[in-house]
Structure 1
Amino acid sequence: MRGEPNALSLPAVQSAAVLLVDGLGAAQLGQRAGHARTLATAPGGSLDAGFPSTTAVALASLTTGALAGEHGIVGYDALVPGVGVRNQLRDWGGPMDPDVWQRLPTLLEQTPSIVIGEQKHADSGFTRAVLRGGEFRGGRSVADRFAIAADAVRERALVYLYVPELDRAGHEHGWQSDRWIDALEQLDGHVRALADALPRQAGLIVTADHGMVDVDASAHLIVPPQLLEAVAHVAGEPRCLQLHLSAEAQAEGTTADALAHHWRAWLGDAAWVATRQQVVDAGWLGALHPEVAPRVGDVLVAARGRRAIYVDELDKARGMIGQHGSLTPEELRVPLRRFGAFA
């Protein structure tokens, strides 16, 4: 919109829309291309959404242009030092102040912007943290939100449209289910209509925050109690646990390397197990700011294949089929499709 050179070589436009489809991985779209002709045949490609492959992290990266180690939202659940583990989508307030916990300015604060989502999110802490700067417009249904976007893109603004329904179908029924396909087909029709309604000097990008894998209950791994003896907090999610050593264990000489060794011995090739330092060295989180470092686990455990790791055998989340958070291409790789002036 400012006519500046950019990494995607997009042309200058009077207005731009970014549609974020929660849970639409590039692999899933590729395997269901016949149900999404508009998205599957559009120009563009795909890109990595970042690690951990979860909504809170990816949306913060989308609006700030930085990875988790810089913007400070480091997982689905994350440790708030001195407080405990808090959900990064819902548990805002107090020491998790949305105005400072997400550390970086957003693009929406720098460009006239309109944010379109479900009305219930208009004043949420997560909206303040990640979408600050945009004028929020809420719509109840998918159709309502696309209609709002079609009008908003005519206002010469940067329009951000968020659609969570596909992700919800995936979590509840799995991305290989008929319900997920139905949601994909409806989404594709709305994308086609929005693309057709774009003014001449407007561009549309369609992307996502993560993909997912379907995890059968037979692939749930329950953590043995002895592996938690030195652990004070477990954050993250079942596809990517973050383990924080207790002060007592550290005083007795237990190190992150030692904890990682024990977990590797239990999991074998079922997961990647790495210390925080190894994760930083590998560049998974980008540059880790000192203020953000205590939020990241001393050890991270990222599931391979189609597995999920649970601390509690009675965890209600075990009813979830579609899952994400780890390092597999099915979770990390998302579409980047172009329409209108960007095509």
Structure 2
Amino acid sequence: MTLPVVPKALGNLRHVFSSSLLAVQKKPNPLGLKPKKKIVCILVDGMGAENILARAGHAPYLAAAVRAGAVGFSGFPSTTSANIASFATGLSPGEHGLIGHAVYDRKHDRTLNLLTGWDESTDPLLWQPNTCVSELSTAAGIACNVIGHAEYQHSGYTMATMRTANYLVAESMRERFDRALEVMVSKSESISYLYIPELDKYGHKFGWETAGWAALLEEVDGELRRLVGKLPTDAGVLVVADHGMMDSPLERRLYIDDFVDQGGLVDHFAGDTRASYLYLKQPDLAQGFTEQLNNQQEIFTAVTGTQAQAANWFGPIGPEARDRFPDVILLAKSNITLFHSVFTKKRAFDMTAHHGGLTSQETRVPLVRIGF
């Protein structure tokens, strides 16, 4: 079986924050950013490059940049937990270990949501032990700021990805851009991460192909233009996203119990709705089971975890990722989403927009450089 071809630039989102720190330090960096005293990285959750172009009338500034080639790529899977962790560490998912939306926690025999499932038995320092860009920045005497909602300030995911950063609480989108402007006009050297979750949240609930989603995109575009209009000469701005979005109508949301439960091999079902992870009771049977599953080629492509690693979808595989790696991965076709009646929560099935897969709509993201 031929695996889906991935772009050579897959996962270059991981270079954005680390390159920003190097640029402030006046050092060479993967993105080739020119030295700046202050850099703000605006990460808009769920704002894919193709989503922007489809709503270009609502985002003329961003659309013009994307048309001019300001495009990067998320890593695989195209999901928030994996890609913001890559943004925050400069590492691929296989290196930092947060390899999906949900993974099987073998130690506690449970499926763990890597965004919101952290609890007293889940230590972020063990689940993501690699050094964060925020830690490198602090150690170098350069301020690192996170600008976001109060609800994320003390979360396990923030501890896993933005350790030692100054957290600047701002609730509305305008307030967050105002805080970014305050940072940019200050005299201190800094890198800042401004997080915009509104488009992703709205898209999941109502779909990105809606007037409401377009209105939020328009707000982002307008706030960005306002910020850029006041950009000091010693500051730079980068605009990125962690993934794009794809609407999946109700008739394309499929329970796949009958396909994957044959033979009783499946122990846990995790991952994303567009890139599902199967953990088997007998991992050594993964190859034969995958071949059997590929009788459903019109619904999904099944690959073994070993094949995905060999194809470098996750980058180099470290010990944390290896312990969480699925035996089989199902890539949903077209705009299909995959669910399991035992393991999937109803709120996931009720969502309209999804992501996680390898399509260009999910992986192509803006990478806009301003002031460089």
Question: Which category of TM-score, normalised to the shorter sequence, fits these structures?
Answer: over 0.9
155, 158, 168: which one pairs with 1:127? 158
75, 80, 87: which one pairs with 1:62? 87
What SS does the aligned partner of 2:147 have? Answer: strand
Structure 2 residue 322 is the aligned partner of structure 1 residue 284: no
Alignment-derived partner of residue 178 in structure 2: 147
Q: Post-superposition shift, 1:289? A: 1.2
276, 285, 290: which one pairs with 1:241? 276
Distance of aligned partners of 1:167 and 1:226 in 2 relative to their CA distance in 1, 3 Å threshold: closer
Separation (CA, whole Å) in 1 of partners of 2:339 and 2:292: 16
1:235-254 deviation per Cα after TM superposition (whole angstroms, max 9, x unaligned): 112111100011xx45xxx6
Separation (CA, whole Å) in 2 of partners of 1:309 and 1:256: 19
Q: Post-superposition shift, 1:272? A: 2.2
Alignment-derived partner of residue 331 in structure 1: 362
What SS does the aligned partner of 1:273 have? Answer: strand
Aligned partners of 2:79 and 2:356 also within 8 Å: yes
Aligned partners of 1:213 and 1:322 also within 8 Å: yes
Aligned partners of 2:127 and 2:320 also within 8 Å: no
Alignment-derived partner of residue 129 in structure 2: 103
Separation (CA, whole Å) in 2 of partners of 1:314 and 1:64: 30
TM-score (norm 2): 0.87
Alignment-derived partner of residue 59 in structure 2: 36
Runs of 5+ unmatched residues, structure 2: 1-23, 138-142
Separation (CA, whole Å) in 2 of partners of 1:213 and 1:280: 25
What SS does the aligned partner of 1:269 have? Answer: coil
| Matched AA of 1:64 | T
Q: Post-superposition shift, 1:279? A: 0.4
Correspondence list, 1:1-343, <5 A? 1-42=24-65, 45-83=70-108, 84-111=110-137, 112-155=143-186, 156-225=189-258, 227-228=260-261, 229-246=264-281, 249=282, 255-265=285-295, 267-312=296-341, 315-339=346-370, 341-342=371-372
Separation (CA, whole Å) in 2 of partners of 1:133 and 1:58: 20
Aligned-residue CA RMSD (Å): 1.5
The 10-residue stretch of structure 1 (278-287 or 145-154) with the greater mean CA deviation from structure 2: 145-154
1:234-278 deviation per Cα after TM superposition (whole angstroms, max 9, x unaligned): 1112111100011xx45xxx611122122212x213222111110
Aligned partners of 2:38 and 2:235 also within 8 Å: yes
Number of equivalences: 335
What SS does the aligned partner of 1:110 have? Answer: helix
Aligned partners of 2:96 and 2:320 also within 8 Å: no
Alignment-derived partner of residue 8 in structure 2: none
Runs of 5+ unmatched residues, structure 1: none
Separation (CA, whole Å) in 2 of partners of 1:316 and 1:161: 27
Distance of aligned partners of 1:154 and 1:100 in 2 relative to their CA distance in 1, 3 Å threshold: farther
Separation (CA, whole Å) in 1 of partners of 2:172 and 2:210: 21
1:148-204 deviation per Cα after TM superposition (whole angstroms, max 9, x unaligned): 111022332101100000111111111110010000011111111111122211000
What SS does the aligned partner of 1:18 have? Answer: strand
The 10-residue stretch of structure 1 (106-115 or 308-317) with the greater mean CA deviation from structure 2: 308-317
What SS does the aligned partner of 2:203 have? Answer: helix
Aligned partners of 1:304 and 1:328 also within 8 Å: no
Q: Post-superposition shift, 1:299? A: 0.4
